[in-house]
Amino acid sequence: MNNREQVAQAISEALDGQLTVEDIVVKIEQPKTSDLGDLAFPTFVLAKTLHKAPNLIAADLADKINQTTFEKVQAVGPYVNFFLKKGNFAATTLAAILTDKDQYGAQNLGNGGNVPIDMSSPNIAKPMSMGHLRSTVIGNAIANILSKTGYHPIKINHLGDWGTQFGKLMQAYKMWGTEAEVKADPINKLLEYYVRFHKEAKEHPEMDEDAREWFKKLEDGDEEATRLWKWFRSESLKSFMRIYDELGVKFDSYNGEAFYNDKMDEVVQILEDKHLLHESKGAEVVDLDKYDLNPALIKKSDGATLYITRDLAAAIYRKREYKFVQSLYVVGAEQINHFKQLKAVLTEMGFDWADQIHHIPFGLITLNGQKLSTRSGRVVLLEDVLKDSIDLAMKQIEAKNPSLANKNEVAHEVGVGAVIFHDLKNERLNSFDFNLEEVVRFEGDTGPYVQYARARAESMLRKANKTTFDLDDISIDDPAAWNTIKALSEFGDVIKRAATEYEPSVVAKYAINLAREFNKYYANSKVLVEDDGLNARLALVKSVSIVLKESLRLLGVESPDEM
Q: According to the binding rule CB under 6 A, does residue 160 interact with ligand ARG?
A: yes
Please, what sign has the CA dihedral across residues 328, 329, 335, 339? Answer: negative
Please, what sign has the CA dihedral across residues 82, 84, 90, 94? Answer: negative
Stretch that binds ligand ARG, among 117-125, 401-409, 424-432, 437-445 (CB under 6 A): 117-125
Minimum Å gap between C-beta 308 and ligand ARG is 8
Minimum Å gap between C-beta 515 and ligand ARG is 34
66 versus 431: smaller Cβ distance to ligand ARG = 431
Q: According to the binding rule CB under 6 A, does residue 139 interact with ligand ARG?
A: no
Question: Distance between CA atoms of 133 and 141, rounded to whole angstroms?
Answer: 12
Q: Is 364 exposed, middle or buried (0-12, 13-18, 19+ CB in 10 A)?
A: middle
Secondary structure of 148-186 as H, E, C letters? HCCCEEEEECCCECCCHHHHHHHHHHHHHCCHHHHHHCH
Site track 214-253 with ligand ARG (rule: CB under 6 A), x = hit: ----------------------------------------
161 versus 235: smaller Cβ distance to ligand ARG = 161
Contact criterion met (CB below 8 Å) for 404 and 411? no
The residues in 296-315 that bind ligand ARG, with binding defined as CB under 6 A, are 311, 314
Question: Distance between CA atoms of 493 and 29, rounded to whole angstroms?
Answer: 10
Residue of 92, 93, 123, 140 interacting with ligand ARG (CB under 6 A): 123
Minimum Å gap between C-beta 347 and ligand ARG is 17
Stretch that binds ligand ARG, among 29-37, 115-123, 166-174, 446-454 (CB under 6 A): 115-123
Minimum Å gap between C-beta 215 and ligand ARG is 16
Minimum Å gap between C-beta 314 and ligand ARG is 6
406 versus 431: smaller Cβ distance to ligand ARG = 431
- Residue 360 pairs with which residues in a beta bridge? 330
158 versus 425: smaller Cβ distance to ligand ARG = 158
Number of residues that bind ligand ARG (CB under 6 A): 9
Helix (H) or strand (E) holding 432: strand 432-434
Work out whether strand 283-286 and strand 296-299 pair parallel, antiparallel, or are unpaired.
antiparallel
Stretch that binds ligand ARG, among 118-126, 214-222, 384-392, 436-444 (CB under 6 A): 118-126
Question: Distance between CA atoms of 368 and 532, rounded to whole angstroms?
Answer: 54
Minimum Å gap between C-beta 331 and ligand ARG is 4
123 versus 489: smaller Cβ distance to ligand ARG = 123
Residue of 3, 6, 121, 327 interacting with ligand ARG (CB under 6 A): 121
User: Which of 135, 217, 221 is closest to 423 using CA atoms?
Assistant: 135
Q: According to the binding rule CB under 6 A, does residue 161 interact with ligand ARG?
A: no
Secondary structure of 340-382 as H, E, C letters? HHHHHHHHHCCCHHHHHEEEECCCCEEECCECCECCCCECCCH
81 versus 165: smaller Cβ distance to ligand ARG = 165
229 versus 329: smaller Cβ distance to ligand ARG = 329
The residues in 321-340 that bind ligand ARG, with binding defined as CB under 6 A, are 329, 331
What residue number has its CB nearest to ligand ARG?
Answer: 160
User: Which of 464, 495, 478, 421 is closest to 100 using CA atoms?
Assistant: 495
Contact criterion met (CB below 8 Å) for 197 and 211? yes
Interacting residue ranges for ligand ARG, rule: CB under 6 A:
118, 121, 123, 158, 160, 311, 314, 329, 331
